[in-house]
Structure 1
Amino acid sequence: MADKHLDPDVLSALREVMEDEYPKLLDTFLADSEARLNRLHATEDTAQLIEAAHSLKGSSGNLGANRLAELCSQLEYNANSMPSQSIKKLIAEIDDEFAIVRPLYKAERQRSLTER
């Protein structure tokens, strides 16, 4: 299941590069992602929606959450032409995917702390 949602090669590379800061990176990603998700829900402004989707797409891709990044990309590139109901549906899919990856990242964080 983790491979479908998180790229283990990306996580391994980040773990090597970040070393002791790796758990902090994961914590920062989770906190920032929650804030970006809140912005997706709170804004009625398409430009702000696109900006939040772009930001979440980038950080998700950088941390190996490829499906989350893909969903954010769909929102980023189609928000201008999508009806509001479709936007809400896509945001719900983004929420669902984040609900899957959040515990995976938390488990990854815990694993990295115990390996020290």
Structure 2
Amino acid sequence: MTDTHIDREALSVLREVMEDGYPELLDTFLTDSENRLRELQMTADAEVLSNVAHSLKGSAGNMGATRLAELCQKLESDAKDKGPAQIAKLVAEIGSEFAQVRPDYEHERQHALTQ
């Protein structure tokens, strides 16, 4: 079965490359993503939205959170052109996607700590 939310191959490569640092990488990703999501939810400034979305897109992409990265890309490029309702909907989609993948990353972290 193909996971449309997380690129498992990317996680596998990160696990090999990071070795003992892998759980800490997962922790950092989760914490940073929560902070950036909060920033997105609290601002209406198009430039801030675009910059934060860009940052989150990069880390999500690096961590294999493909759908989250795609949504952030959309927000990054649309932040200056869309109305507040459309931006709010996109930020909500990003929040929802993060809520969906977060347990997978938490599970991955637990799994990495017990190996």
Same fold (TM over 0.5): yes
Structure 1 equivalent of residue 34 of structure 2: 34
**CA distance in structure 1 between the aligned counterparts of 2:97 and 2:56, rounded to whole angstroms:** 12
Please list every run of 5 or more consecutive structure 2 residues that lacks an aligned counterpart in the other structure: none
The yes-or-no answer on 1:16 pairing with 2:16 is yes
Please list every run of 5 or more consecutive structure 1 residues that lacks an aligned counterpart in the other structure: none
Conserved in 2, the CA contact under 8 Å of 1:2 and 1:104?
Answer: no
Structure 1 equivalent of residue 111 of structure 2: 111
Conserved in 2, the CA contact under 8 Å of 1:75 and 1:87?
Answer: yes
**CA distance in structure 2 between the aligned counterparts of 1:44 and 1:67, rounded to whole angstroms:** 23
Conserved in 1, the CA contact under 8 Å of 2:44 and 2:84?
Answer: no
User: CA offsets, 1:7-55, max 9 Å, x none?
Assistant: 1100000000000000000000000000000110111211111000000
**CA distance in structure 1 between the aligned counterparts of 2:89 and 2:17, rounded to whole angstroms:** 37
Two-structure CA RMSD over aligned residues (Å): 1.2
Structure 1 equivalent of residue 67 of structure 2: 67
Conserved in 1, the CA contact under 8 Å of 2:71 and 2:94?
Answer: yes
TM-score, with structure 2 as normaliser: 0.96
**CA distance in structure 2 between the aligned counterparts of 1:34 and 1:19, rounded to whole angstroms:** 24
